[in-house]
Amino acid sequence: MNEPCKSDSGPDTYLDRLVKYVPVEVLLAWVFVNAVIKDSSDVINKFEVEWYVFGAFAILTPVWIWVVTGKAPYPGRQLHMGIATISFVLWVAAVGGPFIYLKPSLPHYSLYAALALLVFSLAAPLLRPPELPWLEEAPSRRS
């Protein structure tokens, strides 16, 4: 599991944040559940089921980030949860998911989704969590 930012490891770099902001565990679980739904002949209305599953995973994403980062507060937790949730939505849109049903009304949907994911994925790590003064003081208190 991911660990919260540690005061002795220094601030995250751009590449650290790039990797951290993609909720890989949630995406993998969604891919599995989505594949089961698509391959199931028992599901009567796949359109509705796919949207419900997508919504549930979108709600699960910030909760998952909160759980895996630990209960202790760290700078930027809300930022991390928000960016991870937006990242999940954009990844699902780029892969298809329930958004595939929008293709008839948006002829270049796949291009727009891929571009949005690319721009967001490259821009989001530029957002840095706020530095908190107590993090800098913590190592000196232990000594």
pTM comes to 0.79
pLDDT tens per residue across span 64-81: 998 888 866 777 888 889
Q: 84-141: per-residue pLDDT in tens?
A: 999 999 999 999 888 888 777 777 888 899 999 999 999 999 988 776 554 455 444 4
The Cα–Cα gap between 78 and 57 comes to 18
84 neighbors 23 (Cβ within 8 angstroms): yes
* ∠ CA 127-124-10, rounded to 5°: 45
Domain residue spans in the chain? 13-128
